Structure 1
Amino acid sequence: MLLPAKNEVARQLRRYRMWERVMLAAPADRAARDHFEDSGYTLCVLMGKRCAREAVAAAERYLQTTLPAYLQEQTGQTRKSRAVPHGPPSERRSAAGW
């Protein structure tokens, strides 16, 4: 899984929050709304989420945790579950038939 640099996520999150404040202060300002929506879309792309709310939450978690902890949270795996499962023996047999 590729993840963006934390400094870029922090920068985009600050940008999103700034445009959110501007848009809430002047809801009729179409340019402010456009910038706000663009910054939300950028966070969605960076964090691999479908909506800005999820992207903001993911960005905040990403910035507050270590990379391994974030990856584990996103994949829902523990160290045990990442182990290679023991499957049936190989179909290949030795020349002696064992």
Structure 2
Amino acid sequence: MYHGFGNRHYWFFQTLHFLGGFFVAMFFSNFFQSPSFIFLGLGIVTILWEFMEFTVAKVPTLSKYVKSKLRQKDVTPTLADTIFDIILNFFGAALFLYLFS
């Protein structure tokens, strides 16, 4: 990450994933009343986002572009990181539904 920021401040990105799930659920709650549809929408957004992260890491041209433009050292997601990101997204959405449903 940028000057080691991701390694030293991992909690920042975890918080962003949690809040991302919260706010994506908030967005979908404007269109759907059912928690199932809100979670389905969140699942679609989450899978697309994680697929994009994986694609950027695996395609050399994209990886080089992201590293140069964002001054990142590494853009390689791990399976554990991806699963944890997905879990945090759904926990954020669950908190939104708990508080506002």
TM-score (norm 1): 0.33
Kindly indicate which of the two structures has a greater share of residues assigned to helix: 2
Larger radius of gyration: 1
Q: Greater relative contact order (Cα 8 A, min sep 6): structure 1 or 2? A: 2
TM-score (norm 2): 0.32
